[in-house]
């Protein structure tokens, strides 16, 4: 996250906006709206997640435009809500960052794609992989979906962002490696720790908040 209005070309902006709209439509169709309206706990989780993300995303570091560093937090939100609601919660949080002036409105689609959609989809894919492997130990969910999943998700999001900036000509590849890509493992460690720790706490104290957790599968 951190795309400014002078980083992407017009063509890239249009392509990014189209991809954003496609994923947004899929996310909206993915949600069980009837069940959502009846589930007060899920509603509280959704709006609480949006507020927490909006606050966390105000805290960031970075020198060069578009190469900011911050905690994404999308993995734990995806495991709590499912990827459809997680995307919508993330976009609500992103609206707050636009209102507070942290992000430009014109780059909403690009920032939404990188910060919200890519990590949510990657986290969802890792969760499906863990489910298909049919692990019977709940530590598999914690480590693969929580700790490792978050690290992989933020790495993928960072690489997508770098690809966008490189193809736009905003930075050459050597600059991206020097200023961002070589630090991705360092970004992934705190991301994995924060998300994994929260997932662990939820699994122990409030497992019902993790809608993607198949409690009956673990011994």
Q: Is residue 18's pLDDT more than 90?
A: yes
Return mean pLDDT, the chain: 90
Residue ranges of domains in the chain: 10-217
Q: Is residue 49's pLDDT more than 70?
A: yes
Q: Is the dihedral of CA 66, 67, 70, 71 positive or negative?
A: positive
Instruction: Give which of 48, 31, 50 is closest to 40, Cα–Cα.
Output: 48
Note whether 76 and 213 are within 8 A (CB): no
pLDDT tier, 129 (very low <50, low <70, confident <90, very high otherwise): very high
Note whether 53 and 73 are within 8 A (CB): yes
pLDDT tier, 65 (very low <50, low <70, confident <90, very high otherwise): low
Across 9-35, average pLDDT: 93
CATH number for region 10-217: 1.10.1760.20
Note whether 19 and 113 are within 8 A (CB): yes
Q: Is residue 85's pLDDT more than 90?
A: yes
Q: Is residue 6's pLDDT more than 80?
A: no
Distance CA 207, CA 219 (A): 14
Distance CA 65, CA 193 (A): 26
């Amino acid at each position: 996250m951190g795309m400014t209005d002078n980083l992407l070309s017009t063509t890239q902006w249009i392509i990014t906006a189209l991809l954003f709209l496609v994923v947004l439509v899929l996310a909206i169709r993915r949600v069980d709206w009837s069940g959502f309206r009846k589930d007060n706990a899920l509603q509280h989780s959704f709006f609480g997640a949006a507020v927490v993300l909006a606050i966390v995303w105000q805290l960031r570091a970075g020198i060069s435009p578009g190469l900011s560093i911050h905690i994404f937090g999308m993995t734990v939100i995806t495991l709590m809500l499912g990827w459809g609601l997680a995307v919508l919660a993330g976009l609500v949080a992103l609206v707050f960052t636009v209102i507070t002036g942290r992000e430009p409105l014109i780059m909403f689609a690009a920032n939404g794609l990188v910060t919200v959609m890519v990590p949510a989809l990657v986290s969802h894919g890792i969760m499906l992989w863990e489910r298909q492997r049919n692990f019977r130990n709940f530590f598999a969910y914690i480590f693969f979906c929580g700790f490792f999943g978050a690290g992989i998700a933020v790495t993928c999001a960072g690489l997508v962002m770098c690809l966008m900036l490189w193809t736009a000509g905003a930075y050459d590849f050597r600059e991206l490696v020097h200023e961002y890509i070589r630090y991705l493992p360092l970004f992934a460690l705190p991301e994995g720790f924060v998300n994994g720790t929260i997932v662990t706490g939820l699994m122990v104290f409030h497992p019902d908040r993790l809608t993607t957790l198949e409690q009956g599968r673990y011994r």
